[in-house]
């Protein structure tokens, strides 16, 4: 056997093996794609069944995050937190930059880097665990999750990823636990962060938070700040509402739609050094999906319009935009490395070896399209006063043109002077309802 | 020559791969002394729980509330464990050190304990069942429960300072013993633990 033929065989074999290996860890993977398709069609049970199927080639963090969110959507809050805890532990283990993975990313592609979630995803993990604990009526544990999120946000130091909704949720949890002074601090922080992140969130301070902050300031005796803030927010006529006997509060947190899914975009060579045989692939988001609005009603009477409190779609796009320069730099560096190996192999091993090396380089160049795709597109919220006892509430979902596309019916027990929470998910329009509405319109 | 060394190299990789595979299949188990100190993540662990309970026990038994009560009532006090609130940033199992404190107090022979409210509900259910099904001689009547004189309750708090992956964690455990008839705090114990957790920004 000559050296030449041996080299050729080795390249061929390694191409086949590496291609097989890479198909497993490339981007989202076929399992996640089919899970996302089921979820986008509103078939949560099917999506969960796919997600629960063990697949060793999947990133453990990503698989756990998706499983946790789908279990939550199926109201298995305990099961959801069990798997979210696994995700949290794995994220901790992946702290720091891996030398080997970085090298792999420079030679093969970015999917060789372990997925530990973007910062906004890591913070939201605590928020969803807290919401699970709220549903399990374990507010002390929900408080712990919020504390962990606070530590996480503090840890990032000079380059913080502060999440206004997480601050707001902390405030609500503190308030429910009777820690009103802590609630004021969190509401204040939430207001500031809504202001500083308004560009990526695409909205400012929600009115529902303004009212909560003003009410808390008044109740805790921060009179000067209360007056100054009323002026600043142009809410001079605001009077804090008092929960009279026989009334409680309902807080609706609606996780609506689905977070955007990253797609791969291939671009051609950018330097003289690299010819068009080298592919550069980077992730990108398609145009935003339509946004849905929601209204809360009891006994067919409108009680409140739900207000946008978190634009996860915006956060995902901002995170990618932030990472894009480094992703692109890495892709260009990779293209140069790959081009060099192609030329060397061709020189030493001949045309066929060069062709195989090129084929491998093109096949292996894949964009990292991984993200937590079971997150909602937006989080909307309403906070209303309701009479004590069982209350039937409807959350009506409307599309961008104002047409009713779905209705969530819930029964909730309201306790005197306390807050009850609904932390529902809604992913896709109810087609039967849309068709029925169309028929009624025609009649 | 090249072929031979190439094959040799491949065999080394194969053997290394097999060894790695075998290592991955079989977990390594080492038995540890329960009193040994082993910190892994920097989170609250068994050592913290043991340290806090041991020092709290020493403190609670050495204070004057016990001798004063015994001298006044000529009997040992009855204590109940209330809620120990976890106000920290970790999901800490407070039951382990509360159980340690409870056991030490009972074994000291100077304090008696009554069951917690959750346990009492279960026992009352059993007594109701006895009312219907047990013989007259062995039946335990309702209304003979021993009422507690003191309640042990408290909280775990943490203060965390973090920057660039490094953390300083400060834990404070506060326990108080409250006289149920007068609401007076007869004993207040406090334990503090401070840890520094440094994480490398680079991994393999």
State percent of chain A over pLDDT 90: 62
Q: Does position A5 have pLDDT exceeding 80, yes or no?
A: no
Q: Does position A425 have pLDDT exceeding 90, yes or no?
A: yes
Main-chain phi, psi angles of B82, to 5 degrees: -95, -150
Q: Cα–Cα distance between B47 and B127 in angstroms, integer?
A: 39
Closest to A121 (Cα-Cα) out of A157, A100, A91: A91
Please give the average per-residue pLDDT across A42-52, as a whole number.
93
Closest to B82 (Cα-Cα) out of B151, B147, B150, B149: B151
Please indicate whether, in this complex, the C-beta atoms of B201 and A96 are within 8 angstroms of each other: yes
Tokens standing for B141? 């009547």
Q: Cα–Cα distance between B96 and B34 in angstroms, integer?
A: 13
Mutate one of B14, B25, B87 to test the A interface: name it (highest A CB count within 10 A): B87
Please indicate whether, in this complex, the C-beta atoms of B167 and A151 are within 8 angstroms of each other: yes
Using pLDDT thresholds of 50, 70 and 90, give the confidence band for residue A13.
very low
Task: Tell me, yes or no, whether B136 lies in a domain.
Answer: yes
Domain range annotation of chain A: 3-205+243-442
Please indicate whether, in this complex, the C-beta atoms of A155 and B167 are within 8 angstroms of each other: yes
Mean predicted lDDT score pLDDT of chain A? 87
Please give the average per-residue pLDDT across A269-275, as a whole number.
51
At A59 the pLDDT is: 84
Please indicate whether, in this complex, the C-beta atoms of B160 and A99 are within 8 angstroms of each other: no
Using pLDDT thresholds of 50, 70 and 90, give the confidence band for residue A247.
very high
B65, B113 contact by CB (below 8 A): no
Task: Tell me, yes or no, whether B66 lies in a domain.
Answer: yes
Please indicate whether, in this complex, the C-beta atoms of B86 and A3 are within 8 angstroms of each other: no
Closest CA in chain A for residue B85: A140
Q: What CATH number should be reported for the domain holding residue B114?
A: 3.40.50
Please indicate whether, in this complex, the C-beta atoms of A150 and B89 are within 8 angstroms of each other: yes
Please give the average per-residue pLDDT across A252-273, as a whole number.
82
Q: Does position B10 have pLDDT exceeding 50, yes or no?
A: no
Please give the average per-residue pLDDT across B148-174, as a whole number.
91
Q: Cα–Cα distance between B153 and B79 in angstroms, integer?
A: 11
Closest to B79 (Cα-Cα) out of B97, B66, B89, B67: B66
The domain of B103 spans 44-197
Please indicate whether, in this complex, the C-beta atoms of B162 and A141 are within 8 angstroms of each other: no
DSSP helix/strand/coil, B192: strand
DSSP helix/strand/coil, A331: helix
Total count of residues recorded for chain B:
204
Angle among Cα B81, B84, B89 to the nearest 5 degrees reads 165
| DSSP 8-state secondary structure symbol assigned to residue A343 | H
Q: Does position B192 have pLDDT exceeding 80, yes or no?
A: yes
Q: Give the C-alpha distances (Å, rounded to integers) separating B113 from B174, B184, B189.
A: 20, 19, 19
Please indicate whether, in this complex, the C-beta atoms of B204 and A100 are within 8 angstroms of each other: yes
Chain center to CA of A191: 21
B186, B64 contact by CB (below 8 A): no
Kindly list the residues from chain A whose CB atom is less than 8 angstroms away from the CB atom of residue B2.
Answer: 3
Main-chain phi, psi angles of A56, to 5 degrees: -65, -20
Residues 6+ apart with CB under 8 A from B156: B44, B84, B85, B86, B87, B88, B92, B94, B171, B172, B173, B174
A324, A305 contact by CB (below 8 A): no
Enter the pTM of the model.
0.85
Q: Cα–Cα distance between B48 and B42 in angstroms, integer?
A: 10
Q: Does position B24 have pLDDT exceeding 80, yes or no?
A: no
Q: Choose the weakest-confidence range: A293-297, A434-438, B145-149, B189-193.
A: A434-438
Q: Does position A79 have pLDDT exceeding 90, yes or no?
A: yes
Q: Cα–Cα distance between B20 and A205 in angstroms, integer?
A: 54
Please give the average per-residue pLDDT across A327-348, as a whole number.
84
Closest CA in chain A for residue B165: A155
A293, A398 contact by CB (below 8 A): yes
A130, A142 contact by CB (below 8 A): yes
Q: Which residue has the higher pLDDT, A246 or A158?
A: A246
Min CA distance, A44 vs chain B (Å)? 30
Q: Which residue has the higher pLDDT, B162 or A229?
A: A229
Q: Does position B3 have pLDDT exceeding 50, yes or no?
A: no
Kindly list the residues from chain A whose CB atom is less than 8 angstroms away from the CB atom of residue B91.
Answer: 141, 144
Window B:139-158, CB contacts with A under 8 Å: 158
Min CA distance, A252 vs chain B (Å)? 26
Q: Which residue has the higher pLDDT, A184 or A155?
A: A184
Main-chain phi, psi angles of A425, to 5 degrees: -110, 145
Using pLDDT thresholds of 50, 70 and 90, give the confidence band for residue A277.
low
Chain center to CA of A259: 6
Tokens standing for A313? 């779609």
Please indicate whether, in this complex, the C-beta atoms of A97 and B201 are within 8 angstroms of each other: yes
| DSSP 8-state secondary structure symbol assigned to residue A400 | T
Q: Does position A437 have pLDDT exceeding 60, yes or no?
A: no
Using pLDDT thresholds of 50, 70 and 90, give the confidence band for residue B25.
low
Please give the average per-residue pLDDT across A364-385, as a whole number.
93
Please indicate whether, in this complex, the C-beta atoms of B203 and A141 are within 8 angstroms of each other: no
Tokens standing for B204? 């393999």
Please indicate whether, in this complex, the C-beta atoms of B163 and A97 are within 8 angstroms of each other: no
Q: Cα–Cα distance between A304 and A311 in angstroms, integer?
A: 19
Chain center to CA of A293: 19
Condensed to tens digits (0 to 9), the pLDDT of residues B118-135 reads: 888 999 999 999 999 999
State percent of chain A over pLDDT 70: 88
The single residue listed with the structure tokens 């002394």 is B33
Closest CA in chain A for residue B2: A3
Condensed to tens digits (0 to 9), the pLDDT of residues B85-102 reads: 999 999 998 888 788 888
Kindly list the residues from chain A whose CB atom is less than 8 angstroms away from the CB atom of residue B89.
Answer: 144, 147-148, 150-151
Min CA distance, A190 vs chain B (Å)? 20
Condensed to tens digits (0 to 9), the pLDDT of residues B30-51 reads: 888 877 877 777 888 888 988 8
Mutate one of A116, A155, A156, A348 to test the B interface: name it (highest B CB count within 10 A): A155
Q: Cα–Cα distance between B102 and B79 in angstroms, integer?
A: 9
Q: Cα–Cα distance between A294 and A404 in angstroms, integer?
A: 9
B105, B173 contact by CB (below 8 A): no
Please give the average per-residue pLDDT across A215-242, as a whole number.
93
Condensed to tens digits (0 to 9), the pLDDT of residues A107-148 reads: 888 888 889 999 999 999 999 999 999 999 999 999 999 999
Closest to A162 (Cα-Cα) out of A114, A188, A194: A194
Mutate one of B43, B166, B197, B203 to test the A interface: name it (highest A CB count within 10 A): B203
Q: Give the C-alpha distances (Å, rounded to integers) separating A295 from A129, A289, A378.
A: 25, 20, 15
- CB crowding A161-198: b at 16 or more within 10 Å, else e: bbbbbbbbbbbbbbbbbebeebbbebbbbbbebbeebe
Please give the average per-residue pLDDT across A266-286, as a whole number.
71
Task: Tell me, yes or no, whether B142 lies in a domain.
Answer: yes
Please give the average per-residue pLDDT across B152-179, as a whole number.
91
Q: Does position A23 have pLDDT exceeding 50, yes or no?
A: no
Contacts of B16-25 with C-beta under 8 Å, sequence gap 24+, read none
Angle among Cα A18, A20, A21 to the nearest 5 degrees reads 60
Tokens standing for A312? 């996860």
Task: Identify the H or E element spanning B27.
Answer: none
Closest to A130 (Cα-Cα) out of A194, A176, A197, A180: A176
A148 vs B: CB within 8 A:
yes
Q: Which residue has the higher pLDDT, A295 or A17?
A: A295
A13 vs B: CB within 8 A:
no
Q: Does position A196 have pLDDT exceeding 90, yes or no?
A: yes
Cα four-point dihedral sign A295, A297, A301, A307 = negative
Using pLDDT thresholds of 50, 70 and 90, give the confidence band for residue A15.
very low
Closest to A302 (Cα-Cα) out of A395, A401, A211: A395
The single residue listed with the structure tokens 């013989």 is B135
Residue B133 buriedness (CB in 10 A; 0-12 / 13-18 / 19+): exposed
Please indicate whether, in this complex, the C-beta atoms of A99 and B204 are within 8 angstroms of each other: yes
Min CA distance, B187 vs chain A (Å)? 25
- CB crowding B3-36: b at 16 or more within 10 Å, else e: eeeeeeeeeeeeeeeeeeeeeeeeeeeeeeeeee
Q: Does position A25 have pLDDT exceeding 70, yes or no?
A: no
Q: Does position B7 have pLDDT exceeding 70, yes or no?
A: no
């Amino acid at each position: 056997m000559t050296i030449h033929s041996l080299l050729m065989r080795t390249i061929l074999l390694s191409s086949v093996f590496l291609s097989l290996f890479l198909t497993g860890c490339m981007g989202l993977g076929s399992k996640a794609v089919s899970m996302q398709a089921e979820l986008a069609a509103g078939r949560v049970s099917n999506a969960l069944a796919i997600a629960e199927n063990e697949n060793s080639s999947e990133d453990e963090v990503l698989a756990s995050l998706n499983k946790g969110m789908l279990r939550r959507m199926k109201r298995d809050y305990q099961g959801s937190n069990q798997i979210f805890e696994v995700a949290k532990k794995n994220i901790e283990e992946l702290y720091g930059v891996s030398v080997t993975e970085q090298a792999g990313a420079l030679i093969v592609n970015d999917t060789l880097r372990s997925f530990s979630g973007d910062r906004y995803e890591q913070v939201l993990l605590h928020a969803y665990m807290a919401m699970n604990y709220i549903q399990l009526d374990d507010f002390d544990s929900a408080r712990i999750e919020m504390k962990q999120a606070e530590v996480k946000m503090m840890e990032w130091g000079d380059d913080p990823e502060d999440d206004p909704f997480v601050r707001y949720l902390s405030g609500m949890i503190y308030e429910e636990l009777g820690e009103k002074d802590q609630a004021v601090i969190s509401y204040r922080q939430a207001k500031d962060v809504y202001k500083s992140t308004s560009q990526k969130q695409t909205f400012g301070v929600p009115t529902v938070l303004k009212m909560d902050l003003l009410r808390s300031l008044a109740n805790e005796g921060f009179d000067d700040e209360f007056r100054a803030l009323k002026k600043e927010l142009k809410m001079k006529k605001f009077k804090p509402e008092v929960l009279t006997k026989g009334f409680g509060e309902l807080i609706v947190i609606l996780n609506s739609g689905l977070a955007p899914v990253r797609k791969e975009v291939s671009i051609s060579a950018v330097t003289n050094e690299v010819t068009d045989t080298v592919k550069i692939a980077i992730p990108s988001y398609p145009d935003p999906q339509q946004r849905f609005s929601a209204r809360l009603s009891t006994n067919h009477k409108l009680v409140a319009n739900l207000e946008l409190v978190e634009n996860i779609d915006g956060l995902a796009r901002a995170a990618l935009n932030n990472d894009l320069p480094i992703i692109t730099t890495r892709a260009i560096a990779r293209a140069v490395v790959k081009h060099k190996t192609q030329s060397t192999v061709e020189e030493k091993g001949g045309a066929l070896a060069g062709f195989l090396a090129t084929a491998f380089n093109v096949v292996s160049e894949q964009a990292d399209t991984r993200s937590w795709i079971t997150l909602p597109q937006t989080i909307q919220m309403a906070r209303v006063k309701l009479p004590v006892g069982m209350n039937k509430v409807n959350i009506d979902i409307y599309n961008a043109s104002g047409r009713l596309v779905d209705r969530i019916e819930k029964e909730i027990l309201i306790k005197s002077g306390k807050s009850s929470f609904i932390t529902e998910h809604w992913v896709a329009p109810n087609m039967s309802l849309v068709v029925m509405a169309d028929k009624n319109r025609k009649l | 020559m090249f072929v031979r060394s190439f094959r040799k190299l491949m065999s080394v990789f194969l053997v290394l791969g097999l060894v790695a595979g075998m290592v991955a299949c079989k977990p390594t188990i080492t038995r540890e002394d329960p009193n040994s100190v082993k910190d892994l993540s920097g989170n609250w662990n068994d050592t913290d729980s043991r340290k806090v309970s041991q020092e709290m026990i020493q403190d609670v038994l050495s204070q004057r509330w016990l001798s004063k009560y015994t001298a006044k009532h000529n009997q040992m006090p009855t204590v109940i464990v209330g809620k120990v609130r976890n106000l920290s940033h970790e999901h800490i199992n407070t039951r382990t050190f509360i159980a340690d404190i409870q056991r030490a107090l009972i074994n000291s022979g100077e304090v008696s304990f009554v069951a917690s409210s959750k346990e009492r509900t279960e026992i009352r259910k059993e007594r109701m069942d006895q009312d219907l099904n047990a013989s007259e001689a062995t039946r335990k009547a309702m209304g003979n429960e021993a009422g507690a004189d003191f309640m042990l309750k408290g909280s775990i708090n943490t203060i965390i300072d973090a920057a660039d992956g490094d953390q300083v964690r400060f834990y404070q455990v506060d326990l108080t013993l409250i006289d149920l008839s007068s609401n007076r705090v007869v004993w207040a114990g406090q334990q503090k633990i401070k840890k520094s957790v440094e994480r490398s920004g680079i991994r393999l």
